[in-house]
Amino acid sequence: MTALPADCVDRIRRAINRDRLLATATELIAVPSPTGQAGAVSDRLAELITADGFAVRREIADHPAAPAVLATLDSGKPGPTMQFNGHLDVVHLPFVPPRVEGNRLLGSGSCDMKAGVAAAWEAVRALRDADALPMGKILFSANDLHEAPWGLGEQLNALIRAGIHGDAVLIPESLRTPLPIAGRGSATWKLHLRRSGEPVHEVYRPMDEPSVIAAAADWVARLEQFDRELAQESHPLAGAASVFIGQIHSGEIYNQYPQVCMIEGTRRWLDGTSSDAVRADFFARLDALARDRGVTVDCEWKLIREAFQLDPHCRLVEAFQANHALLSGEPLPIGAKRFVDDGNSFWGIAGIPAITHGPIAAGAHTVHEWVDLDDLVRVATLYALTAVSFCSGESLV
Ligand SMILES: [Zn+2]
């Protein structure tokens, strides 16, 4: 990919405004937004965008309490759409207001990920101010319902399914390195094995009723075998498909014949397998267990995110790496995505390439969040440059 002209890079760098970026991040952090209740901060962001002179679009996307916030920078010339996407909700912990200490911004969501959202928005403003987008569009979007267990990405999934997305996405979660190119999909499962009778003293045990503990032991053995088979499906970076048991419980005391056994765990899979197929297979295995053991089974299955894959030679990665090298001296090493994130949804639902990359930060999911302000400015600059490279026609392949 051809490097951007030096004067274009200079104009963008000069247009990135650190004070304006810090002010936006501070405003977003100042509005509490536990997952599911990001309405007020979404409204605040919409006001800020309007004050910046952009038109705001709100999309309910299955979540009327906090319609998603969208804005577009249109070059006026045809070309691809680069999307910046982030979530405005934070995990349910006591609220910590924003404050600056030296080069750090602290407060709820500073790390995960309101400062990242502010950096993405600063990139849009800078591109507008520098008049630096030669063709195509930037779609900026921010949503609620990201953080589990209160959300499972439902609002973003609804937007993607409705066709509201770009041709490639940058997600400013606080991942500085590596550049993740492969990750497993994941789901959680929780099942109850039951027999029909009441809990009774074991000496009164009805001999025609199955032992839920023996059925559970059988399930554990079956999953152990299944996990060995899944281990054959392995990706050098993402690791192996797996099934995992994290908790099992039955019974109250040593001599009572229990009625129910609870077991829960996870299932992970690789790109190329759909979550629907994984789910259907799992439930077929449960049906077989119920039939063989004479127990009833109910299972809560929660899809967390689909599997993730990113072609390291695609246009998005080339645009990103060229500009990362420009700003930081070298491209990012590629690596695995250990945890699922919204990039999995873009790829799994719509086949859209997505890069998760954000500022140096720490304390996600604690009351001690912070983000490095110098690095936040770097992220805003990198997003703006990458968008121009991605949207520019000269090296379209
Ligand atoms: Zn996050």
Q: What is the predicted pLDDT for the residue at 394?
A: 55
CB atoms within 10 A of CB 348: 22
Q: pLDDT digits over 336-385, tens only?
A: 998 899 999 999 999 999 999 999 999 999 999 999 999 999 999 999 99
Q: Ligand 1 mean position to 114 CA, how many Å? A: 9
Band of the pLDDT at 38, cuts 50, 70, 90?
very high
Q: What is the 112 CA–ligand 1 centroid distance (Å)?
A: 4
Q: What are the pLDDT digits (tens) for 106-133?
A: 999 999 999 999 999 999 999 999 999 9
The Cβ of residue 131 has, within 10 Å, a number of other Cβ atoms equal to: 10
- 128-166: pLDDT as tens digits: 999 999 999 999 999 999 999 899 999 999 999 999 999
What's the CA angle centered on 121, arms 68 and 137, to 5 degrees? 85
Q: How far is the CA of 102 from the centre of ligand 1 (A)?
A: 24
> Burial, 359: exposed, middle or buried (Cβ in 10 Å; 0-12, 13-18, 19+)?
buried
The CA 135 to ligand 1 mean position distance, Å, reads: 30
Q: What is the domain partition of the chain in residue ranges?
A: 6-183+307-391, 185-305
Distance from the CA of 359 to the center of ligand 1, in angstroms?
12
Model pLDDT, residue 3 = 80
pLDDT tier at 396, thresholds 50, 70, 90 = very low
Class for the domain spanning 6-183+307-391: alpha beta
178-197 pLDDT, tens digit each: 999 999 999 999 999 999 98
Give 146 Cα–ligand 1 centroid separation in angstroms: 7
Q: pTM of the predicted model, to two decimals?
A: 0.91
**Ligand 1 center to residue 311 CA distance, Å?**
23
> pLDDT tens digit string along 286-308?
999 999 999 999 999 999 999 99
Distance CA 329, CA 12 (A): 18
Share of the chain above pLDDT 70, in %: 98
Contacts of 6 (CB under 8 A, 6+ apart): none
Q: Residue 113 Cα, ligand 1 centroid: separation in angstroms?
A: 5
How many whole angstroms separate alpha carbon 157 and alpha carbon 164? 10
The CATH number of 185-305 is which of 3.20.20.140, 3.90.1150.10, 3.30.70.360, 3.20.20.30? 3.30.70.360
Q: Which burial class, exposed, middle or buried, applies to 339 when counting CB atoms under 10 A from its CB (0-12, 13-18, 19+)?
A: middle
